[in-house]
A and B are shown apart, each in its own frame.
Chain A
């Protein structure tokens, strides 16, 4: 079982009346709320936290991409990974990921990821999300109906750019390049592992299974919706004739570990509320621009997706309905083993910092998870399977140490 430490990098100073006074956390959130001096503090604190996770033996440290968003201060996650590549040495460096359709031309992604793979000595994992409607359609102006086609063309171009040894011409519908020839090249051959974060679109499952990639369901709604999504995904894996190796599946979970269940509420309830009530304040009209979801996916949805359903939930609801797994180490362990087994999932993206959780409590949460939960899961789950989606770094002795100043 793999545990990865995932950071969203939220802005922590959204006012208490944010939901009442501001239209959204995304797309049209006022930049007057952003204090760059606080930004300086958050970025450095958050980098410390990711580095701390590496030092405690997490399998991976993980960042993602958002735009015009007050809960995700990473328009360019590759900048964050570049900083982490120098100050960490063991954990996989995971970006989940770069939204391919936003880069023009997308070989920019092939280039930057190859740089990260070289700098880190082959610890890099490249994620390719389609991207949310807020990021891609509203903030970056992409046409909803053609977003997925453009994404797939970009994917094909990137993989070819990594694997084709000679310069080649690419005559695509969205990209025309007379000379594709990226320098540098990734260390990992044929290319770094590709992980596909998804929100539950039906078409993505078959595509991921056909390519033998890792599928990561990144929702903030915990294991209940994840169980439904994973069911659909495993059916697609089976249709494609692939094995049910749990490492080809991942999901994200908000987690709070403390001494006791009662202490967990004291430690984490406020930050959980900040996260779900302020960070996820997204009105329905941003959720999916017309054409962002295919008609097939819309018809498969039981009810229209809405962030607004979170409004009335409290700590007890979040825990009982599985949005959050929190409590003593034993509580967290038992719950995780149960749901990971049920979903057959081998890659867990732990959200151990969320909302406005303080640096001290983030450290506590991370440390307790690393000492009391991570080794247990590692021992208990999936040792009969090989993780074929992990990066393959250079040998330790071949890697350049970071020189002392």
Chain B
């Protein structure tokens, strides 16, 4: 895969994306932590698909967040992105914030999207099971909420990466941009539009996700007609890292059906 620069709406937005592979187009939308540059699961998916993994506006190299006020603006930006790159009928795989975004993109124009994979998406709110206020988390709390094994090597790597001031500033910037869509409660009206997701949809959930607990998976499944829900026993919120192989298989099998 290679790093490619993209300009949307005549340069009002600029970003970089990881791009490459063979097969039907697959748009990967990252979560609140920012683009997952160099993550092996993207390379794996590129074996079977042409993968487009851009940074959102306001995350990493993505600019133009000031032109986006809400989640609908955000979803329309991605429709322009698809127009700009002339991508026909893509699959969309969205993680967390990116899952919420993927659902909104598809709700606006379900006929435009091929298949949808939502990986522990945000976007709904259950009064009896409130999502914790992750905007206030320190790195330790973040690790405890997003990883199945908070003392495992992946958690340690994540914590170490967050030691540098540059990484902390980048995380601050990502969460600041995330606030436009998830502050103060991660419910911005998807429940009014989710019935429009009449396309093949797969939901993936880590059984020990403490950020968006599995009970939300059931809520999404109830709300999306005909959707399928698959659980991952050894994952928290980061399935694509925690159970990479099973994740890639589940996504590929579903999209190639």
Contacts and interface: CB of A to CB of B under 8 A. Distances in A.
A286 B136 contact: yes
B15 interface: no
A295 B172 CA distance: 9
A155 B149 CA distance: 49
B176 A145 contact: yes
A143 B173 contact: no
A141 to B, nearest CB: 4
A290 B180 contact: no
A144 B136 contact: no
A298 B177 contact: no
Contact of A290 (B178, B184, B185): B178
B129 interface: no
Nearest to B134: A290
A395 interface: no
B158 interface: no
Contacts of B128: none
A40 interface: no
Given A137-B184, A285-B136, A285-B138, A144 B176 contact: yes
A370 to B, nearest CB: 43
A275 to B, nearest CB: 25
A289 B180 contact: no
B169 A291 contact: no
Contact of A144 (B69, B169, B179, B185): B179
A178 interface: no
A23 to B, nearest CB: 11
B184 A141 contact: yes
A137 B136 contact: no
B135 interface: yes
Contacts of B111: none
Most buried by B among A137, A145, A299: A145
Contacts of B176: 144-145, 290-291
Given A285-B138, A286-B136, A295-B169, A146 B175 contact: no
A38 B135 CA distance: 35
Given A137-B184, A289-B135, A290-B135, A145 B179 contact: yes
Given A137-B183, A285-B138, A145 B177 contact: yes
Interface residues of B, number: 19
A172 B225 CA distance: 39
Contacts of B138: 284-285
A291 B179 contact: yes
Contacts of B172: 290-291, 295, 298
A143 B180 contact: yes
A173 interface: yes
A146 B180 CA distance: 8
Nearest to B183: A143
A137 B137 CA distance: 15
Nearest to B185: A141
A141 B186 CA distance: 12
Q: How large is the interface on A (under 10, 10 to 19, 20 to 34, 35 or more residues)?
A: 10 to 19
Contacts of A295: 169, 172-173
A143 B179 contact: yes
Nearest to A139: B184
Interface string B180-223: 10011100000000000000000000000000000000000000
B178 A298 contact: no
Contacts of B179: 143-145, 289-291
Nearest to B137: A285
B173 A144 contact: no
Interface string A194-212: 0000000000000000000
Contacts of B185: 141
A291 B136 contact: no
Interface in B122-179: 135-138, 169, 172-179
Contact of A298 (B65, B135, B169): B169
A173 B69 contact: yes
Contacts of A285: 136-138
A291 B175 contact: yes
Contacts of B173: 290, 295
A289 to B, nearest CB: 6
Interface in A137-169: 137-138, 141, 143-146
Interface string A285-301: 11001110001001100
A285 B65 CA distance: 24
Interface in A294-335: 295, 298-299
Contacts of A138: 184
B180 A145 contact: yes
B144 to A, nearest CB: 14
A392 B176 CA distance: 42
Contacts of A173: 69
Contacts of A144: 176, 179, 183
A285 B138 CA distance: 8
Interface of B: 65, 69, 135-138, 169, 172-180, 183-185
7 contacts: A145-B180, A285-B136, A286-B136, A290-B172, A291-B175, A291-B179, A298-B172
Interface of A: 137-138, 141, 143-146, 173, 284-286, 289-291, 295, 298-299
Given A141-B184, A144-B183, 19 more contacts: A138-B184, A143-B180, A144-B176, A145-B65, A145-B176, A145-B179, A145-B180, A146-B69, A173-B69, A285-B137, A289-B183, A290-B135, A290-B172, A290-B173, A290-B178, A291-B175, A291-B176, A295-B172, A298-B169
